[in-house]
Structure 1
């Protein structure tokens, strides 16, 4: 028997499936084919056929088809030596034509891998086909939106005859007999099987299958069916992420996944707003960050666009993270990006939005009237303490205070200034985002291409005083291209390309300095001097409407000068990511055996330019101050780093020579190469299902210190994952990682990290038959294993001795000295150091009830982290380390911490009637740690010991009462009760815990409150849908968290540099005075520093940081499909979004966000109001 490809009559002749020639496929050829197939794949089988044949040989029919379509037809000539065909077609689809004509001749076709094979019908069925075969047509729509579905697979059951729905959801297929069965299937929807029963028209509504959307879960380096997963894994999709209008994906995660703890401590500054992420809390006082894997390769996820992400998964227990071995102890985040799907035509998705952002909460400061009143009181208290004469104080008059209370704020009424500096500093900003994606393919090639743009504008919106743009902004560009190609039915290839470009501009100052000035400047001072006719000042007036920046030797810092005249800096980052994979099916050896290999190259580059004036905001230096900077000689400032000569011009009246701090730095490119080879096996033997994976990978990452290349960071290792299940009922898994890290000496470099897991699907047991009416699924699972962490607290190569510069030495006689720099040993090396180790136990339960409407997942976990790398304390002689060494002590493996808790997730999905659906998914994580051993000195007082307590708990002086009167103050001062100076009535008194009559740092502080990082985080996502209207809401919060609030966030008249007159807040109105002694909650007021009342370790300023936040709201409306399909659109959806809309906490009197970790001295967290549209066609 011979099989011919009529498209290439001179091509190779094949006998059976055995080629007579060997075909060599070069990787470059694969890439070229991939690119060419982008244009071919979506149209290949939908080409139109025009022909008119009367009683022609069937071979002529096939040749004509190939000439018009360029598609390979494979067939056995013996099938139709004497067959004739009469057919006429005017633009009919190829597959539709074959479905109609071939059954009349007793033939079928099979479509796969870009070719069509002609096959014979069953001999016993030929007469039945000829007599009863008929053409079936119909339409497939979404059961909820009623929109036509494109690319739905339609298969005649028991045959290989198949087709797909077209752009309008329509299909036509020829069935061999009138009582045939049709099977309709589409990814993400429940398949349907329809008995035709003689019908010629079939209209189908496919129902979305939320379970199917999560059916395949990424676990380590492989994927598993969700029902077979016995590790602790949680997953969300891009649908959840795109609801958050923020630039950084780290800030989209809080409250969405059980086990993931996200704290946005750093605020919302464009380009640097990033949440701190842990998995299951903190289990070490070393580095706790999880590793991030994007499409199988370790990468940064911060500025991925949510539109390019398919799934976001966290791996939490040892069974899931063991393959990552030496870096798996902190958990693993696994991200997969979107890929193409086989469909008859490409789909285009466009999403764009614009919105406003503004601070969630700003510190509330008292106005000038209250400030002046409290200023007088604080100055008086200081004079009493220091023995000064109260009558000689320079205080505000009653008249001035009254005018301040009435003042509007800008002195337009002549009653004085009354500034709210935070309100002055922060305005509303604009942000924009647009994403365009194209997705499609067929059985040969599939592709996904996406481009995105996002811009966050500044919340600093003030008059420009300089000729440069110092307004903050952040711009991000994203690109993604993922291509899959089936080169043959056994050989496949993938090409993944990704790119991100970020461009950030900010004032030359920092957000911390700006907010510090806003927090510490008195509200009654002007920001700018009003224009005046004083001839002495005329030559110094700047060319802007408000006149000179205000400042003097006492109040030096000016917020407007800081913001607009401090210079600027820009930061540009470019990320390029590429990987190429090929795989081969080795079923000629045994079924289920495949191999694949991956090579990846990533390159990042960062450029930044900083132009900064050192004394920019000190207003008193305005004379003869700064303004327009003109480079001398016309040289390009970007090409001349260093201090750059030029001229400041003040208006057109005065000019002085000055220099502008101008430094340009271009980091040498970061690059990482990665390669991996993997063997997979997956096979079923009756009720026995076995899978296995062995993998070797290696990565090498370049490191630069300035312009000097350092030794590359390298990892390599072997990993394995093996699973077995019997009848999908009894499940077992063994995983391991054998990995090496450069951070340890060669003889201690590699470690073996095994883990095992068992699962039992109880609901499949016969004794559970009586429960199946209400219990649909019940699985018990457990895992145990060892994982590690090689992240050193003190840098790389802790086992090697490093040297650093020391004091200089002089040689020679007096007057002829030669001075040479010295060299000394840096931190002592520890050649015996090793990785941290974590033994993890996880017990989990998965259940589904009430026809899968109710789902529950519970995981109880315990982690024993030991050999934690800790700096050896010279004062601890228990380990034989001398008390005096003369250099920094080494790191040793000595710490032990236990961490235990529970993850919980409940899902309820239901519908009311045909049109209303809703979805609720509450989740929470509780994780509590305990220090079992910490290398600390032996304290005499047990309350000073950290061992036995939680990580990062607060050791504070315990507030007892306020000094009641002068007699008590005198008694305390006489005995030297506390070391911070003289006390007066109203000052704070702390408990003497050890009873020695004195307050000391060592003996009189104890643990209070909770650690800063919350032990409990929870989320409540809710989704409602009625016809085209949908509403999604996310509540998110945290419990068991405390924060010490200090400096200007809580203290009266805080000092900044030389400025001691600070600001005051509403809580200071509750200060101690003789009249308020019984109700006061704040001590007596003092100017500037007061280490007793304003003590950063005082329980007075320890607050409960629990909160509940309305994190996200999205309301969308989709225009009915039948309104827009005539213009070629599949979907048009309008939506509004809100981010960080409301917060309920116990910090109202502080006006601080409970997630802030900077005492208010930084850019605030932002809330966003967004409007957008999503178009699909």
Structure 2
């Protein structure tokens, strides 16, 4: 079978019923168009003139097969032309023997042929590799770019090649309509989260469906050099065919395949050095203790630490007894390293084509290793990728393909989880103990009173290690069969895939005895108190875990595609079935469905496409398991109209209008599986056979059984009704191209537990129902420009996405105050209520009394609203707005809908490329807007100074910008210091004082490289070679400064940091 990207008469397969349908529907149009013509070619009206010369011929590809729909025109006379028929034949009238024919077809190099007295001219067109982007991947197939009616975005693989393990991390700002954020840089767990056109549900899954080579798979561990195309499907016309999995959008990734050419071997090596984009800074021990004394003074207490004691810390008199531990310096490396090697072989003959790839990736973590341990305590990842895609033409009408892929990963981690290590670094003060005593003794608190009180260095170096082994085997077989003997353009395709993932985690624990130094003896030796007795030996493997997942997917499609003069018709009918079995789930997850598509195009100007997905899932009750999801899309290529003014065409040569409406679904509704079944509670409490005269129970018979969750057999999918309106426009000889879309969708039948159903109705639990509703709308656009200035080639690109949602139905009980209602707010507001911070209190707000020690106590004046939030109150604490005017500050003064979501509503990116004589450079910026960050997060763990007292909560340097009695400024970050969370209760609540603008602009990528001239490479047998330098995450401009704004506020901003990387690479082909 011919290469599907370029074969002119390649066809989407269809059912026999599809052929009959089109014959009935379009034969009047086709026959009418051919009534007065001797053959199927389309001729200019000028061919009737007697002084013209008739030229006939056949247009074929390099394999000798006819090309349907090729354009044949007379050069310089675009109104004189013809289109080849189903056998590749054409007929055209030319003005003279000096005329020049121009023959063109999408995906092929245009040929020019002089007539020179000939009357029969056969033309062979060669494939144009540069025109690959004119054929795009859509759901269950491919289409010419000009005929696409759906809203979709594509990105060239070279634009998503970044020095990162996960492909997800390179998407932000690159693809219009896609919102992505990366929260962590931890190797193996650094996948960016992404959403297509934002979030449209408050209950169900929000992740898009990802298909790799048409099979549902993760794309995180695909090597970028394996990728041929990357497309994002956004509107209903594009996603409805995926039925109950299409509501959140679809990502299509196709891997490279072989070509008819001699074997080409490509090799690439990259070496990267990384450092954190931003890390917090903490005050030293002496300053920490001074600040704690200040907090005690603010709380009306005497100082705990004397000036003499603080001086020992300040002078670094004895680092064992008066430590000043910088946990970041002790535990984190300045730089980490990554290495990547890839080898690809690509080629083939008419009988068989192949693409084979092998890759190795190694990344080390940011933690320092132990100088005394025989095992590795750092994070690290080793990954091997293997892929083989084989296509075989077993006959002139039959193609068989076999795809195999293997991913093997070995991850190494400390015995304690990374989040716990960073959290301990955040809350452990510098004065408590050194990381390890100077004689090598393991250190800790004087008492380990709770889980928070652990030496972070011990958690890293002295807790053992874990190794994770993960294997993913992916296989796929397909058969393509042409059925041209039935009717031209008919074919069938069968796909079957089997994937198996397995994972094993082995842990070895280490729990040494831990000590706290109490002083020195007369010889200067440290004296220790044993805090925890442990075992000096590394424990045998324990707590090992294994898991496995099996996935089976099959589909069978009948496709039809054919051109009749100016009529392009196509159809597809596909059956799909898949099963996923997890090792710890008794019943597999199963889906099946029927997919259909009808397409029609006329004259390269009018296009219509109808799709449907009919999907069934075992997640719902019998009789309610299938859903029907239809869509229709239209496109009008107005610039191809004959009446399109030439004066406009000179500046706007391309103008295409698009519209679509339809429905998609989401079966990941967010609830427990099998909600349609009634459950029983087996532990409803003890029952007895009566009571004795003293009230004691007689003959207890144990727990009773009662009805549990109420059965909900009527539950079904989330349903999203989508509208999309857009245009594609090319300006200035198509040197500037803009694609713009407006979208408006409403997600209904969102799963929730009814809150307005009274328990007086006899229900023990609120019943589940598809009741919620969310509206989501916005715009996305992409801009591409290119221009040559002399020998300098310039190009620029940019994307912009804005999306905003609104909850239309939540079934909430009417709140006491409308400003606390969920209905009418954004999805992110559902869990966010904020007090409104007016200012900091001043002394004028209080009556003040002073005791004999000169310590002040404060009582708020009666005319000022009285807070009920707890803690000690005085000048320098936060004063909140009494929103409801009742004279007190309580939970009813919290307001919903303030600020922006944590997930950005705006994502954008823009970049510039330049090339001159083999030297090239590129730069790309990525930004986010309409996003807010709550400093410290909702739990505020470790964010506020002295959160758990003097022993627990490190103090960041930015918190030096605080309110003090000597400097009672309102323009500070930290209000009045308190010695503990209990005393600081008023200031710790979620309020606008801590809410920050999380928008940012990031210098995402810079690359400089040199393409070595071919005249030098040919002498050593090479076809291409380049060397390049690349920087990634180089700078960020934002409003927060305390931590990377994209990383978010988990662990109060002290997560595994995002990396700033510098890469040198070399690749060559021979």
Query: Normalised by the shorter chain, which TM-score bucket?
Result: 0.7 to 0.9
Partners of 2:168 and 2:487 in 1: how far apart? 44
Change (3 A) 1:801 1:302: farther
Q: How does 1:276-295 map to 2 (within 5 A)?
A: 276-286=193-203, 287-295=205-213
Residue of structure 2 in register with 1:298 after alignment: 216
Residue of structure 2 in register with 1:268 after alignment: 185
Residue of structure 1 in register with 2:677 after alignment: 800
Change (3 A) 1:183 1:440: farther
Partners of 2:128 and 2:788 in 1: how far apart? 13
Instruction: Give the one of 379, 385, 388 matched to 1:478.
Output: 385
Residue of structure 1 in register with 2:901 after alignment: 1011
Residue of structure 2 in register with 1:593 after alignment: 490
For the pair 1:779 / 2:656, whether they are aligned, the reply is yes
SS at match of 2:293: helix
Q: How does 1:626-705 map to 2 (within 5 A)?
A: 626=534, 628-629=536-537, 637-638=540-541, 662-667=542-547, 669-705=548-584
Residue of structure 2 in register with 1:842 after alignment: 724
Partners of 1:799 and 1:1078 in 2: how far apart? 60
Partners of 1:793 and 1:1110 in 2: how far apart? 37
SS at match of 1:763: helix
Partners of 1:1055 and 1:723 in 2: how far apart? 64
Cα deviation for residue 625 of structure 1 reads 4.3
Residue of structure 1 in register with 2:625 after alignment: 749
For the pair 1:1040 / 2:930, whether they are aligned, the reply is yes
Kindly provide the CA deviation profile for residues 892-944 of structure 1, in whole angstroms up to 9, marking residues without a partner as x.
Answer: 1111111110011111012122x321211111100011111112120121110
Partners of 2:476 and 2:101 in 1: how far apart? 40
Partners of 2:129 and 2:781 in 1: how far apart? 19
Partners of 2:632 and 2:538 in 1: how far apart? 69
CA contact (8 A) 2:686 2:701 kept: yes
Partners of 1:564 and 1:628 in 2: how far apart? 13
Residue of structure 1 in register with 2:812 after alignment: 936
Cα deviation for residue 805 of structure 1 reads 5.0
Residue of structure 1 in register with 2:292 after alignment: 375
SS at match of 2:297: helix
Q: How does 1:443-462 map to 2 (within 5 A)?
A: 443-462=350-369
CA contact (8 A) 1:924 1:1017 kept: yes
Change (3 A) 1:745 1:972: farther
Change (3 A) 1:492 1:181: farther
CA contact (8 A) 1:1138 1:1168 kept: yes
Q: How does 1:754-765 map to 2 (within 5 A)?
A: 754-765=630-641
Where structure 1 has 5 or more consecutive residues not aligned to the other structure, the ranges are 1-109, 117-158, 161-178, 199-205, 532-544, 632-636, 639-661
Residue of structure 1 in register with 2:39 after alignment: none
Matched positions, count: 936
Cα deviation for residue 515 of structure 1 reads 1.3
CA contact (8 A) 1:486 1:492 kept: yes
Residue of structure 1 in register with 2:71 after alignment: none
Residue of structure 1 in register with 2:881 after alignment: 991
Change (3 A) 1:414 1:796: closer
For the pair 1:1078 / 2:963, whether they are aligned, the reply is no
Kindly provide the CA deviation profile for residues 270-323 of structure 1, in whole angstroms up to 9, marking residues without a partner as x.
Answer: 111111110001111122111111111111111111111111111000000010
Partners of 2:507 and 2:106 in 1: how far apart? 51
CA contact (8 A) 1:808 1:819 kept: no
SS at match of 2:459: helix
Kindly provide the CA deviation profile for residues 741-782 of structure 1, in whole angstroms up to 9, marking residues without a partner as x.
Answer: 111111111111110011110101122131222222110010
Cα deviation for residue 1122 of structure 1 reads 1.6
Change (3 A) 1:784 1:193: same
Partners of 1:1174 and 1:230 in 2: how far apart? 38
Residue of structure 2 in register with 1:80 after alignment: none
Residue of structure 1 in register with 2:1045 after alignment: 1153
Residue of structure 1 in register with 2:142 after alignment: 223
C-alpha RMSD of matched pairs (Å): 3.4
Residue of structure 1 in register with 2:609 after alignment: 733
Cα deviation for residue 838 of structure 1 reads 0.7
For structure 1, which segment, 978-987 or 951-960, has the greater mean C-alpha deviation from structure 2 after superposition?
A: 978-987
CA contact (8 A) 1:439 1:449 kept: yes
Cα deviation for residue 465 of structure 1 reads 4.3
For the pair 1:491 / 2:398, whether they are aligned, the reply is yes
Instruction: Give the one of 953, 957, 974 matched to 1:1066.
Output: 957
For the pair 1:867 / 2:749, whether they are aligned, the reply is yes
For the pair 1:347 / 2:238, whether they are aligned, the reply is no
Partners of 2:969 and 2:603 in 1: how far apart? 74
SS at match of 1:1099: coil
Instruction: Give the one of 608, 629, 635 matched to 2:505.
Output: 608
Cα deviation for residue 860 of structure 1 reads 0.4
CA contact (8 A) 1:691 1:724 kept: yes
Residue of structure 1 in register with 2:840 after alignment: 962
SS at match of 1:748: coil
Residue of structure 2 in register with 1:910 after alignment: 787
Partners of 2:230 and 2:344 in 1: how far apart? 19
Residue of structure 1 in register with 2:1055 after alignment: 1162
For the pair 1:1022 / 2:922, whether they are aligned, the reply is no
Partners of 2:957 and 2:861 in 1: how far apart? 30
For the pair 1:581 / 2:478, whether they are aligned, the reply is yes
Residue of structure 2 in register with 1:516 after alignment: 423
CA contact (8 A) 2:393 2:400 kept: yes
Instruction: Give the one of 803, 813, 816 matched to 1:927.
Output: 803
Residue of structure 1 in register with 2:20 after alignment: none
Partners of 1:184 and 1:792 in 2: how far apart? 53
Where structure 2 has 5 or more consecutive residues not aligned to the other structure, the ranges are 1-59, 66-86, 89-97, 118-124, 518-528, 691-695, 849-857
TM-score by length of 1: 0.75
For the pair 1:857 / 2:857, whether they are aligned, the reply is no
Change (3 A) 1:445 1:224: same
Q: How does 1:1135-1154 map to 2 (within 5 A)?
A: 1135-1148=1028-1041, 1150-1154=1042-1046
Give the structure with higher Rg (CA). 1
For structure 1, which segment, 1112-1121 or 450-459, has the greater mean C-alpha deviation from structure 2 after superposition?
A: 1112-1121
Partners of 1:1119 and 1:477 in 2: how far apart? 29
Instruction: Give the one of 1046, 1049, 1053 matched to 2:945.
Output: 1053
For the pair 1:895 / 2:788, whether they are aligned, the reply is no
Change (3 A) 1:720 1:630: closer
Partners of 2:1008 and 2:920 in 1: how far apart? 6
SS at match of 2:827: coil
Change (3 A) 1:630 1:1101: closer
Partners of 1:328 and 1:282 in 2: how far apart? 13
CA contact (8 A) 1:559 1:617 kept: no
SS at match of 1:806: coil
CA contact (8 A) 2:422 2:1054 kept: yes
SS at match of 2:396: coil
Residue of structure 2 in register with 1:39 after alignment: none
CA contact (8 A) 1:466 1:628 kept: no
For the pair 1:425 / 2:331, whether they are aligned, the reply is yes
For the pair 1:395 / 2:305, whether they are aligned, the reply is yes
Change (3 A) 1:769 1:1086: same
Partners of 2:147 and 2:382 in 1: how far apart? 43
Cα deviation for residue 1153 of structure 1 reads 3.3
Cα deviation for residue 785 of structure 1 reads 0.2
Residue of structure 2 in register with 1:979 after alignment: 869
Cα deviation for residue 112 of structure 1 reads 8.5
SS at match of 2:811: coil
SS at match of 2:828: coil
Residue of structure 2 in register with 1:506 after alignment: 413
TM-score by length of 2: 0.82
Change (3 A) 1:1152 1:239: closer
CA contact (8 A) 1:994 1:1004 kept: no
Partners of 1:1080 and 1:396 in 2: how far apart? 31
Kindly provide the CA deviation profile for residues 394-448 of structure 1, in whole angstroms up to 9, marking residues without a partner as x.
Answer: 2241x555665565xxx68999543332233221211111111100012221100
Q: How does 1:612-627 map to 2 (within 5 A)?
A: 612=509, 625-626=533-534
Higher RCO (Cα < 8 Å, 6 or more apart): 2
SS at match of 2:165: coil
CA contact (8 A) 2:950 2:979 kept: no
Partners of 1:405 and 1:195 in 2: how far apart? 91
Residue of structure 1 in register with 2:240 after alignment: 322
Kindly provide the CA deviation profile for residues 558-602 of structure 1, in whole angstroms up to 9, marking residues without a partner as x.
Answer: 121110111211211111111111111111111000011111111
For the pair 1:437 / 2:344, whether they are aligned, the reply is yes
Residue of structure 1 in register with 2:152 after alignment: 233
